[in-house]
């Protein structure tokens, strides 16, 4: 979709595109209401600013749609396709899958949410190192890191869908 189509789309169609990037009601509703943007850069800039204000509850709600690193997203929607592409560089061999599964389980036990990292452009070794490093965070620090990763993912997805 190009920016002109997004700007002129019915509200539900524009919202569906945004929800594939991050399913945060206030973010989606505000961006839809503030149309037209006129340029991808203007939309991305505003999307990034608004994502910086997500509450812990909004972050947790948005994470409900994210698969664990190393697992493929079930489903056939845009979000599932985006997740599959983002994780295309993740090695899913038996040994790596076991390490990711153990790390994901430890993370979920420690923080009560799925481990989220911008996987696009990252290899398995880097992702595993980040997972292990983030397990050392205190809950408040990790929430901030998770929110930032979600923000990066949302903006990258939006950019990819509009360019």
**Domain CATH code at residue 43:** 1.10.3330.10
What is the structure's pLDDT at 162?
Answer: 94
What is the structure's pLDDT at 16?
Answer: 96
What is the structure's pLDDT at 128?
Answer: 92
Is residue 48 within 8 Å of residue 151, measured between CB atoms? yes
How many independent structural domains does the chain possess? Answer: 1
Mean pLDDT by 10 residues, the chain (163 residues): 96 96 95 98 98 94 80 53 55 75 94 91 88 96 96 95 89
Nearest to 16 by CA among 1, 36, 37: 1
Round to whole Å and give the CA distance between 46 and 27: 10
What is the structure's pLDDT at 76?
Answer: 46
Range(s) of the domain holding residue 53? 3-162
Q: What tokens does 33 get?
A: 């209401």
Round to whole Å and give the CA distance between 82 and 77: 9
Helices (DSSP H) in the chain: which residue ranges? 3-8, 11-21, 25-33, 40-51, 56-63, 78-86, 94-111, 124-134, 139-162
Chain-centre distance for alpha carbon 122:
14
Round to whole Å and give the CA distance between 110 and 55: 20
Round to whole Å and give the CA distance between 135 and 127: 12
């Amino acid at each position: 979709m190009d920016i002109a189509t997004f700007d002129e789309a019915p509200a539900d169609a524009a919202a569906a595109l945004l929800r594939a990037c991050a399913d945060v009601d206030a973010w989606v509703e505000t961006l839809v209401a503030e149309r037209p943007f006129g340029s991808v850069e203007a939309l991305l800039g505003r999307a990034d600013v608004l994502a910086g204000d997500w509450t812990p509850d909004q972050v947790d709600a948005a994470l409900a749609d994210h698969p664990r690193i190393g697992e493929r997203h079930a489903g056939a929607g845009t979000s599932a396709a985006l997740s599959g592409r983002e994780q295309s560089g993740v090695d899913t061999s038996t040994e790596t899958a076991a390490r990711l599964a153990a790390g994901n389980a430890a993370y979920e036990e420690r923080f009560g949410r799925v481990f989220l990292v911008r996987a696009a452009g990252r290899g398995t070794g880097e992702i595993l190192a980040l997972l292990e490093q983030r397990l050392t965070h205190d809950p408040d620090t990790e929430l901030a890191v998770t929110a930032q990763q979600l923000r990066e993912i949302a903006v990258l997805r939006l950019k990819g869908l509009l360019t």
